[in-house]
């Protein structure tokens, strides 16, 4: 079924008029015609069936059915604290971990992060990652889109995580460290874990002090095997392992 992200605000009436990216996708990519059917999703877990009424030069009119809430995804709620990675690697990480069902991605600047996001560029970079996440959600059939956090310094992100963290057994947090004598992530993950936070380092890896800070914030050190994985590989493997262990790939 053809799918399209349309913000919930446009679902209020039995007819929705879309322009901009949504219209261009319908008109130019899907080459939509009157009578064609598709599914809209609002990025917050709701879907609605739609029929194309008219495709005009700058806009498309859709007739909407009754909205429904998509079935919640199985597996733990996954949060990825991702150290900024160079170039397109970050885009790739956002796309692949969205496909794998991550619920939230928080870009963090670690000491050895080569890639930096100056404050004035942060809103545009975040908007770009949000667009990539929406497109990945559209392609993989998700009705929700992961939240992309404001890029933050690692210490601030850990402080925020500590402030947010509820003291319940169902939450587990891991700092992925290739130097770790820690347990392999596979062994450290319990099937009944309801929420997993994964902290992945930059190209140059974490400093010992950063690993200690994560541990003092309640993160366990975990390994992904004897080989040094690239940042983007480590992010995808860690998310896939957490999904596998908690039933999110069933």
Residues that bind ligand SAM (CB under 6 A): 176-178, 180, 200-201, 203-206, 223-225, 227-231, 234
Nearest distance, CB of residue 230 and ligand SAM, angstroms: 5
How far apart CA 148 and CA 135 sit, in angstroms, is 14
End-to-end CA distance of the chain: 22
How far apart CA 225 and CA 184 sit, in angstroms, is 7
How far apart CA 143 and CA 78 sit, in angstroms, is 16
- Which lies closer to ligand SAM via its Cβ, residue 98 or residue 180? 180
- Which lies closer to ligand SAM via its Cβ, residue 14 or residue 225? 225
- Which lies closer to ligand SAM via its Cβ, residue 43 or residue 182? 182
In the chain the beta strands, taken as DSSP E runs, fall at 3-5, 15-18, 37-41, 46-55, 60-64, 68-69, 77-83, 104-109, 147-148, 152-153, 171-176, 183-184, 195-200, 220-223
How far apart CA 196 and CA 153 sit, in angstroms, is 20
- Which lies closer to ligand SAM via its Cβ, residue 42 or residue 232? 232
Report yes or no: 47 and 40 within 8 Å, Cβ to Cβ.
Answer: yes
Report yes or no: 217 and 162 within 8 Å, Cβ to Cβ.
Answer: yes
- Which lies closer to ligand SAM via its Cβ, residue 150 or residue 178? 178
Nearest distance, CB of residue 99 and ligand SAM, angstroms: 19
Nearest distance, CB of residue 10 and ligand SAM, angstroms: 40
- Which lies closer to ligand SAM via its Cβ, residue 60 or residue 243? 243
Nearest distance, CB of residue 94 and ligand SAM, angstroms: 16
Nearest distance, CB of residue 186 and ligand SAM, angstroms: 11
Report yes or no: 148 and 127 within 8 Å, Cβ to Cβ.
Answer: no
Nearest distance, CB of residue 119 and ligand SAM, angstroms: 24
């Amino acid at each position: 079924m053809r799918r399209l992200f349309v913000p919930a605000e446009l679902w209020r009436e039995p007819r929705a008029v879309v322009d901009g990216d949504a219209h261009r996708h319908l008109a130019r990519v899907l080459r939509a015609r009157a009578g064609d059917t598709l599914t809209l999703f609002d990025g917050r877990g709701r879907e609605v069936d739609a029929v194309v009424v008219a495709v005009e030069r700058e806009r498309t009119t859709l007739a909407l059915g009754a909205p429904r809430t998509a079935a919640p995804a199985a597996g733990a709620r996954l949060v990825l604290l991702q150290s900024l990675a160079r170039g397109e690697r970050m885009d790739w990480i956002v796309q692949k971990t969205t496909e794998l069902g991550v619920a939230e991605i928080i870009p963090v600047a670690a000491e050895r992060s080569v890639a930096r996001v100056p404050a004035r560029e942060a809103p545009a970079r975040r908007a770009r990652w949000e667009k990539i996440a929406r497109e990945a959600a559209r392609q993989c059939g998700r009705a929700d889109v992961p939240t992309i956090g404001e890029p933050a310094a690692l210490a601030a992100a850990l402080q925020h995580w500590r402030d947010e963290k509820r003291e319940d057994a169902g939450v587990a947090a891991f700092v992925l460290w290739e130097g770790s004598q820690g347990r392999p992530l596979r062994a450290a993950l319990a099937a009944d874990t309801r929420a997993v936070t994964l902290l992945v380092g930059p190209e140059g890896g974490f400093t010992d002090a950063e690993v200690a800070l994560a541990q003092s914030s309640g993160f366990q050190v975990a390994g992904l095997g004897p080989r040094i994985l690239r940042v983007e590989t480590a992010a995808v493997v860690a998310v896939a392992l957490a999904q596998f262990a908690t039933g999110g790939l069933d």
